[in-house]
Amino acid sequence: MITRLVASFYKELLLVVRDYAGLAMLFIMPLFLIVVMAVIMDAPFRDYQEAGIEIVLLNEDNDTIGNIIEQGLIDSEIFSVVNKVGPDNLDRSSIEQLVKNGRFILGVVIPQGATKFVNRKVDAMISSTLSQFGMPVKPSVIVKQIDAPKIQIYLDPAVKKSFANSVTSSIKSFTTQVENQMIIQGFYAQMTEGESGEKEMKGGLIGFEEIYPSGEMSKNEHLFTNSVQHNVPAWTVFAMFLIVVPLASNMIKEREGGSMLRLIIAPGSHMTLLVGKLLFYVAICLIQFSLMMLLGIHLMPYLGLPALHLGGSIAAVFVVALMLSFAATSLGVLIGTIFSSYQQASIFGTVIDVIMAAVGGIMVPLFAMPEPIKFIGRLTPLNWGMESFNDLFLRGYGIIEVLPEVMKLGIFSIIILLLAWKANKNNVIAQ
Amino acid sequence: MEPIIEITGLVKRYNQAELNAVDGITVEVRKGEIFGLLGPNGAGKTTLISILCGIVKPSEGQVRINGIELQSGLQDIKKIIGVVPQEIALYPSLTVKENLTFFGKLYDLKGLELQESIDIWLNKFGLIDKMNHRIETFSGGMKRRVNLIAGLLHKPQILFLDEPTVGIDVHSRAVITEHLKEINQNQGVTIIYTSHHMDEAEYLCTNISIIDSGIVIAGGSPKNLLKQNKDCNRLADIFLKLTGKSLRD
Ligand SMILES: Nc1ncnc2c1ncn2[C@@H]1O[C@H](COP(=O)(O)OP(=O)(O)OP(=O)(O)O)[C@@H](O)[C@H]1O
Ligand SMILES: [Mg+2]
């Protein structure tokens, strides 16, 4: 049995090694793709338009400050503001969760009593200012030092740093505006003369806190996405799925060329031979993956780009790569089984890979896409792979957090193989 | 001689086909025979052989090979049969040696035993110098010879040959027929063989069945058939007399 398995593995090796076009497609093309994409997308990645990005907002304040920030975000047209997700009301932990699991890249919590706090601070300031001019002070406005409520901004570490900065500063500017207005109004209220008390607030009254809900690594080191961090894993996933083309072509040639007949006529389980074939293509995918990662780590710096960062858990990265290879190989087997001409299979295999790459967040990150596309994109194995690599590389997660994606890849592969097996029954043995 | 293949009332109708490709064939092949299956295009020869080696499921009827029921004992039967398909069944981008090594390993042959077996056959068929050449660079006749060797490596007791000499020159044909005769006489291999070359069949076969439209229309040794058809000098004449002269699909 082992003889047969190894023979099948070795036979596929010979077929692939002799197929120069296939080799170029699997190794040379992705190499260029990655380098070119990483270089040309470097600039756009630094300042691309985050148009129409969804932001999840919890306005606990429900008073002047909260409402002005909310309106400001809505009016900005950069964001579309979401106040409700699912049946339950939002709270801090659900917002944290929504950002953590990548559903939103941005969450903002305006704490309860923010307006009241600022009001009291303003009153106190005005009173102390007025008292310096010898004016009477209402005792009620003298406030004790209390902790300032903080506006919390939850950010997905997969967004780039400049974007995070611009979001935080625009929210800050809304609040500063409100605070200034409140101060002016306060002066008007206390001083009938209407003497100008416009006095820029230094630093503002209300505090801010940026929170990156994520795993271990990000606590001390936030790694923001950049051209390398996106393009290297993205096009590697794409390239791994290109395995369907040589795999399906070889299966079809084997069937059409009659060699398949000998495989069926030989005694013993055909499954052994299929396993040998699968193992070989999974191995090819893993080699492809390793080469592309090495390229990201060692070649990118020579091109003036940052080196690829693999995150904390190499074991988890390997598991994801393995499951992706399995998924890609299974898909190749299915395509090789249902198509009868290898030209058709090649075209279909390439096109389906490109389509899945387009909707699955390979070409453009998923969060920048419209909702219906996002929904379809999340159903593609390429997206599961990409999401896993984002989790591992950028968010600093480990195997536990990528387990759902890994399981999806596994279940996908098994379903696809079962379909291939079903189709094969109607195919190999003439009825 | 005891029967090694017993076919009774065999019928095959392909899905969506209007007619039966095999339409009730009952035939017995005895051990050590070279049995010729002759018939025009579309007669059902390939279908019959495909059923015998388990590639095609019969619709009706029984087949016993070496005393084993085909359906239930297929795995055991596969070990003792060798098949040389009508089409060249080799990997074009692999060399002769790589192809033969792979097909040998399908039968769990390995190491020196396999290499020796390959070398012996390549020698016999004049291909030893070419063993590291890729199949795609070969002529039709060379491919046919490799195709034949691939079915012989595991020393089968029964050999099915579907038109092993189609489209090749006189020299290649002579080599192939000589070696088939030798395998049959020296190693006692039973050979079931289809062909359109009547003179070849007349020379090679100890027994033949002429089939047309899925049924057996004549059978026996070439000698007996000629005796029964006094108006014919050669097997080819009998064949034309029995199957008519109209073209087939
Ligand atoms: N897979 C199939 N599906 C449907 N019909 C088939 C199939 N294979 C063969 N047939 C039909 O069955 C009949 C017998 O075909 P078969 O290939 O057995 O003939 P043959 O005697 O080998 O012919 P040839 O001498 O041309 O090789 C033909 O009518 C053919 O069209
Ligand atoms: Mg035929």
Tell me the CA distances in angstroms from A190 to A176, A180, A184, A185, B29, one per residue in order: 21, 16, 10, 9, 119
Question: Tokens in use for A342?
Answer: 């290898």
Beta carbons of B47 and A430 less than 8 angstroms apart: no
B18 touches chain A (CB under 8 A): no
- Distance from Cα B45 to the centre of ligand 2, integer Å: 6
Q: Who contacts A332 (Cβ-Cβ below 8 Å, separation ≥6)?
A: A243, A244, A245, A246, A247, A248, A251, A281, A349
CA B173 to chain centre: 14
What is residue A207's predicted lDDT score, i.e. its pLDDT?
Answer: 66
Cα A91 from Cα A46, distance rounded (Å): 32
Reply yes or no on whether the pLDDT at B156 is more than 70: yes
Contact flag A15-B102 (C-beta cutoff 8 Å): no
Instruction: Identify the CA nearest to A325 among candidates A364, A251, A394, A382.
Output: A382
Closest ligand 1 atom, residue B19 Cα:
29
**Could you tell me if A99 and A213 are in contact, meaning their C-beta atoms sit under 8 angstroms apart?**
yes
In this prediction, residue B244 has a pLDDT band, given cuts at 50, 70 and 90, of confident
With the C-alpha atoms ordered B124, B91, A283, A402, is the resulting torsion angle positive or negative? Answer: negative
pLDDT tens per residue across span A74-83: 776 667 788 8
Rg value, chain B, Cα: 18
* Angstrom distance (rounded) from CA B135 to CA B114: 19
DSSP A172: H
The pLDDT assigned to A200 comes to: 41
Q: Six-digit token pair at B102?
A: 């792979």
Residues of A contacting chain B (CB within 8 angstroms): 3-4, 6-7, 10-11, 14-15, 18-19, 254, 257-268, 273, 429-431
Contact A4 B105 (CB under 8 A): yes
What is the per-residue pLDDT for A216?
46
Beta bridge partners, A58, equal A109
For chain A, what is the radius of gyration of the CA atoms? 29
Angle of helix B111-124 relative to helix B140-150, nearest 10 degrees?
140
**Among B41, B46, B53, B213, which is best to mutate for testing ligand 1, by the most ligand atoms less than 8 A from CB?**
B46
Q: Measured between CB atoms, does B98 come within 8 Å of chain A?
A: yes
Task: Please choose from B10, B47, B52, B217 the residue to mutate so as to test ligand 1's pocket, defined by most ligand atoms within 8 A of CB.
Answer: B47
State the pLDDT at residue A199: 43
What strands, in cross-sheet order, belong to the sheet with B22-30?
B22-30, B3-12, B60-65, B68-69
**Amino acid identity for residue A237 in this structure:** V
The dihedral built from the CA positions of residue A328, A334, A335 and A336, taken in this order, carries a sign that is positive
A10:B102 CB<8 A: yes
State residue A138's pLDDT score: 57
Non-local CB neighbours of A247 within 8 Å, separated by 6+ positions: A281, A329, A332, A333, A335, A336
Determine the topology of domain A51-191 in CATH.
D-Maltodextrin-Binding Protein; domain 2 (3.40.190)
Q: Please, which residues have CB within 8 angstroms of residue B176's CB and are 6 or more apart in sequence?
A: B125, B144, B145, B148, B164, B165, B168
- Which residue is it, tokens 């398995």? A5
Q: Under an 8 A CB cutoff, do B89 and A267 touch?
A: no
| Domain residue ranges of chain A, discontinuous segments joined by + | 2-44+224-430, 51-191
How far apart, in whole angstroms, are the C-alpha atoms of residue A388 and residue A408? Answer: 11
Is residue B81 over pLDDT 60? yes
Name the band, by pLDDT with cuts 50, 70 and 90, for residue B93: very high
Per-residue pLDDT of chain A (431 residues; tens, 9 = 90+): 888 999 999 999 999 999 898 899 889 988 998 888 888 877 766 654 445 577 888 888 888 888 888 887 777 666 778 887 777 788 888 888 888 877 788 888 888 888 888 888 888 877 777 777 776 655 554 445 556 778 888 888 777 676 777 777 777 777 777 777 777 777 777 665 444 444 444 445 666 677 766 554 444 344 567 788 888 999 999 999 999 999 999 999 998 888 988 999 999 888 889 999 999 999 999 999 999 999 999 999 998 888 898 888 899 999 999 999 999 999 999 999 999 898 999 999 999 999 999 999 888 777 777 888 888 999 999 999 999 998 898 888 889 989 999 999 999 999 999 999 888 765 555 54
Give strand pairing partners of B25.
Answer: B10
Tell me, rounded to whole angstroms, the distance of Cα A242 from its chain centroid.
22
Pairing of strands B3-12, B22-30: antiparallel
User: What per-residue confidence (pLDDT) applies to B79?
Assistant: 92
Q: For A187-201, B58-72, B193-207, B226-240, which range has the lowest pLDDT when averaged over its residues?
A: A187-201
Shortest Cα–Cα distance, A32 to chain B (Å): 27
**Of the ranges A186-200, A256-270, B130-144, B215-229, the best mean pLDDT one:** B130-144
Contact A106, A157 (CB under 8 A): no
Least Cα distance to A429 among A255, A277, A306, A236 occurs for A255
Alpha-carbon dihedral of residues A324, A325, A328, A332, nearest 10 degrees? -160
Tell which residue, A92, A110, A83, A109, has the closest CA to residue A178. A110
Contact predicate A388/A406, CB 8 Å:
yes
Pair A164, A209: CB distance under 8 Å: no
A262 contacts B89? CB cut-off 8 A: yes
pLDDT in tens, B165-184: 888 888 888 889 999 999 99
How far apart, in whole angstroms, are the C-alpha atoms of residue A381 and residue A241? 9
